[in-house]
Structure 1
Amino acid sequence: MASPQHDTLGIRLAEILLQLNQGDAVCRDDLAERFGVSERTIYRDLNRLGDTVERLPDGRYQLAADKQGKFQPKDLELFARITGVNQLFPNSGHRFLRTLLDPLEPSPFLVKAHHHENIQPWDRQFQQLDRAIRKRQRCQLQYGEKLRTLEPYRLVNSKGIWYLAATERGQLKAFSLGRIGLLNITDEIFTPQAQIHRQIEDDDDIWFSTTKTQVRLSVAPTIAYYFLRRAVLPGQQIVQHGEDGGLIVSSSISHANQILPIIRYWIPHVQVLKPEWLQSQLHAELQNYIRPASQPHTGS
């Protein structure tokens, strides 16, 4: 079984691509044993590579004929940016990539990333939506109990979950792939809007909205480090460094549920300074939680 140092999606996919680019055909079982993951995980990995790979009659996979011998370090850098793992490593150029992917040297790196949902049950829908986005075709789908007509823009993975970013009557929304049913790709063509693409790329997650609420929090010195090393909040900005080591931070949100779970996680070390309605909502939720079981909870 492979060393757990290989247990990272970005490095695993890059190593598979490197092996395929050398002209090798790969077997799912062999890859599963090499990386110490399940055969189903390797199946999903190969699906992520889309038409870059093709399946042979004997069940092995090889690089598609029109891609063979064409992958260069710059292609792997582009792949890293698309999959969101480019900022995990130093910006050291091609030399670092070649060192990272050298099959003869044990890797000194280990990345423990988000757990990703299993999209295998929705593989066909994923491919249908991919084609609809590329061909700019409207689609109809059942979402919950409602039939919707959408203009699909992007397939977005946020925190390990796949969403369809699409407009409905001009408004950008996100739809979880796991809740989509009765998908129908129509022959109607739409014209994508550049500002919609920018909004999808600029927003931190899938709470799309053109109207943002500014939130300001006080962060205690004991946990300030966690807010300094990376953005914990959506659109996080450090507003002020306190003399005691505490912080005042701001966040830009589209919906209260975008930030309330994060605040609850850090209680009692964070405090909502504004807006007042957010602090009131948090206070009411906490009161409902600590109310004795004999007393009924009020609706929210």
Structure 2
Amino acid sequence: MSDHDALARRLALLLMKLNHGERVGPSALAAELGVSAATLRRDLARRLAFLPLERERGGWRLDAAFAGRLGTRDIEQLAALAAVRGALPGDELARELFEARVQRAILAGAAPQERHALARPLEDAIVAHRRIGFELLKDEGLVQAYAGIEPYRLLRHKGAWYLAARDRGQFKTFSLARMRALRVSRESFSPDPGTERQLADEDTLWQARQRVLLRIDAQAAPHFRRRKLIASQKIEQALEDGSLVVSLQAAHAGQVLPIVRYWMPHLRILSPEAWQAELEQGLAQYLGLADATDAEHHGGQAVPGSQQGGGERSE
């Protein structure tokens, strides 16, 4: 293994631990990773300086708001980039990539607490390129054993987790809900470039995407001009009032609504109109519940200035 490959592997393992919410202590990890504590401190201070890290009991932990947001492919790409560019003073490329990956995770709605229990050992195997074996529950109670599987990526589709992998040269996806008796082998494999390209955009594995148009007001527009804050975003039009019309590709509303809520009130969905209606309906229901709760806490009287029944969303 070359020095560069060893560095990228070490950074990937550090990123993986931080992404899992672990506290990383250089002294404790030095023996495990085969380098000095000073080297690990340099990795964290220079090559991984783009991460929002917090000091904790002689170690570092990733800000809880970002933990669990990175997928295995994100970790590998960030580690490879940090290995090459992380020592360059003021380099922002890794930081921009990290922010884009976190935004994508929010857009996809994959909250850390929703991760499957098998996600962590599978991610470990994916990053280390280790073959795995497991049993898969089939219909009618049947069980099929698998061995020598090459794991590539964890995918989330319609609330369920899947493993994208190669089985004897054939690409397959396996449901984590049906998986049991997972075993991680010491045997490694070399990733197949064709499979990597196939996984470049996981949405294409499931369904066709559609074009979404967002209007971003003048106050938030500079942020979207400066860098891509939404995966696949493209500025379609700059309006005279300083606002922007931005397009993106999404498979379903659940990929877009969380990011619009995050940027409220500065974003509005222009197309599909039904998605904006869904957003407003959800907000009206929330406001209605909030008003009802406030009324209960104030002896049945609504709080002055609150809307009864939710009302319409003002522009």
TM-score (norm 2): 0.46
Structure of higher RCO (CA pairs closer than 8 Å, 6+ residues apart)? 2
TM-score (norm 1): 0.48
